[in-house]
Amino acid sequence: MKKIVMSIVALTATTALMAGVNAGACQGCHGTNFEKSALGKSKIVADLPHAEIATALKGYKAGTFGGPMKGLMKGQVAKYSDADLEAFAQTIGK
Which CATH number is 6's domain given?
1.10.760
Q: Is 94 domain-assigned?
A: no
Domain count for the chain: 1
Q: Is 41 domain-assigned?
A: yes
Percent share of the chain, pLDDT over 70: 80
Q: Is 58 domain-assigned?
A: yes
Sequence length of the chain is: 94
Q: What is the pLDDT of residue 1?
A: 63
Instruction: Find the mean pLDDT for residues 35-59.
Output: 95
User: Which letter does DSSP use for residue 47 in this model?
Assistant: G
Q: What is the pLDDT of residue 72?
A: 94
Roughly how many angstroms between the first and final C-alpha of the chain, as a whole number?
Answer: 21
Q: Is 13 domain-assigned?
A: yes
Q: What is the pLDDT of residue 18?
A: 47
pLDDT at 42 > cutoff 70: yes
For 40, the domain range is 2-89
